[in-house]
Amino acid sequence: MMAKSIDGEKGRLLRLVEERLLSRKTENEKKLPQETHIPYLPKDCISSILVRLPIESLQRSSFVCKPWYSIIKNPKFIDAHFQRSESVLIFLLPIWERSYSFSMASAPEQNPNTVLVESKLLPPNCIPTFSNLSLNSTKFSVQFLAIKNGKAEIGGYSLSCLGSIRATCNGLILLDNKVKTGGLVVMNPVTRKLIALPLGTLHRPYNESYGFALSDVTGEYKIVHLFRDDLGFVSCEILSLWEKVWKEVNGPSFGLFGWFGYAPISAIGALHWIPQVDRSDYIVSVEVHKELFHQIPLPRSCRTHDRIIEMAGALGFVIHQDINCIDIWMLKGLYGEVWTKYHSITVGSVIDMIPYFTLRIKGDIIFKRDEDGSLYAYDFQQQDLTKVEIVRNCMLTSSACLPHVNSLISWMDESSDMHE
């Protein structure tokens, strides 16, 4: 009996000790900060989330961790994000004129991290001077205008340059090279990656035109340079960014071009020019892949306020039918295709509305009124033309603004080292 009593007492003491230890453990756990358990997300799910971010957020997200960096720098992801990105207008703003172009309340602050494009073309540790840069040129800030929900807001890349933007393609821009060696520069203003191109044929700016396009066959970017000699003959040279060598090709027939005032439009695998300042009955096109020129008749004569624009991959011709009507024609291919009438805009007086470009995602056509430079957007679904509210007061000129897409696109092919 005595042994059983002793065993029972030991059992009670053991249970009491275990209960106290458990109670103390519970109290200590309550005092400690609670751990946050993040559920595992598959890589495809993370990619689907990241591809919906705006470009500025995407750039920051690439530095969160190595797996995110790997996803964001993947060429397939870059292309998927590009397909979801809306069009903007890229332009250069003379820095010395900022106080005149903006009100003091809306003037953008000077970013201390602003980079001069030309400085990236110089050897490391080389200080920009008069000897290696054309510093007597006007310095420009590279900016863009984004249109969303009826409002236009100006943004920047913290970039400045000395040369002009000659052409754009996807997320790349073609700039004058103002380093003393001259030539051209291809750059992505978002990533700040750039490449200097060799010097081509020198000519007066008003007697030449640059086009920038992507071959839908090979996937290579090409620069097309047209220039006219003193006899009126138009010659052509083309440079592939894969080969980086200018190549002479057969230019357009004599007499087709009257002037080079209109920037070429890239669509349906070709670059297209309106060759006359007024009453042009045709456009001049060059196939990007075959590098052959074509003369394509227009459905109606092109007048001063009429333009060709890219529309969802097709070539659009926007023509003023009368004071209250604008007709839109579409051409979907170079071979066997004909112009078809797509839509008519009949909303008030549209006589001085110049078509600028189309929004890639929403599909609206953006017009600029010739009288005061204000912007208007035409919604095809609502069939409504509304004025775009410019959040920051900045006068835009047609010669200084080009359609652009903020993206991580590179000029290299997918087999190249994307971090070269």
Res 401: pLDDT: 86
Sheet holding 165-169, edge to edge: 165-169, 172-176, 184-187, 194-197
Kindly list the structural domains of the chain, giving each domain's residue range(s) and its CATH number in brackets, ordered by start.
43-84 (no CATH), 85-405 (2.120.10.80)
Q: Give pLDDT, residue 342.
A: 94
**Backbone angles phi and psi of 47, in degrees to 5:** -60, -40
**What is this structure's pTM?**
0.81
pLDDT tens digits, one per residue of 348-406: 777 888 999 999 999 999 999 887 888 999 999 989 999 998 776 555 554 578 999 99
pLDDT tens for each residue of 51-88 = 888 888 887 877 778 877 888 888 888 888 889 999 99
* Structure confidence at residue 374 (pLDDT): 86
pLDDT at residue 420 in the model: 37
pLDDT, tens digit (0-9, with 9 covering 90-100), for 257-278:
988 889 999 999 999 999 998 8
Residue 116 and residue 127 in contact, taking contact as beta carbons nearer than 8 Å: no
Measure the CA–CA gap between 66 and 385, rounded to whole angstroms.
Answer: 46
Q: What local confidence, expressed as pLDDT, does residue 336 receive?
A: 82
3-state SS track over the chain = CHHHHHHHHHHHHHHHHHHHHHHHHHHHHHHCCCCCCCCCCCHHHHHHHHCCCCHHHHHHHCCCCHHHHHHHCCHHHHHHHHHCCCEEEEEEEEHHHHHHHCCCCCCCCCCCCCEEHHHHHCCCCCCCCCCCECCCCCCEEEEEEEEECCEEEEEEEEEEECCCEEEEECCEEEEECCECCCCEEEECCCCCCEEEECCCCCCCHHHEEEEEEECCCCCCEEEEEEEECCCCCEEEEEEECCCCCEEEECCCCCCCCCCCCCCCEEECCEEEECCCCCCEEEEEEEECCCCCEEEEEEEEEECCCCEEEEECCEEEEEEEEECCEEEEEEECCCCCCCCEEEEEECCCCCCCEEEEEECCCCCCEEEEECCCCCEEEEECCCCEEEECEECCCCCCCCCCCEEEECCCCCCCCCCCCCCC
Q: What is the predicted pLDDT for the residue at 102?
A: 35
- pLDDT tens by residue, the chain, 420 residues: 444 555 566 566 666 656 666 666 566 555 555 555 555 667 778 778 788 888 888 878 777 788 778 888 888 888 888 899 999 999 998 886 443 333 333 334 456 678 888 888 877 766 666 566 666 567 888 999 999 888 888 888 989 988 899 999 999 999 998 887 778 999 999 999 999 998 888 888 788 999 999 998 999 999 999 999 888 899 999 999 999 999 999 999 988 998 888 999 999 999 999 999 889 999 999 999 999 999 999 999 999 999 999 998 899 999 998 888 999 999 999 988 899 999 999 887 778 889 999 999 999 999 998 878 889 999 999 899 999 987 765 555 545 789 999 999 988 754 444 333
State the pairing for strand pair 151-161/115-116. Answer: parallel
- Measured CA to CA, the distance from residue 165 to residue 42 in angstroms comes to 42
pLDDT for position 12: 65
Question: What pLDDT shows up at residue 49?
Answer: 79
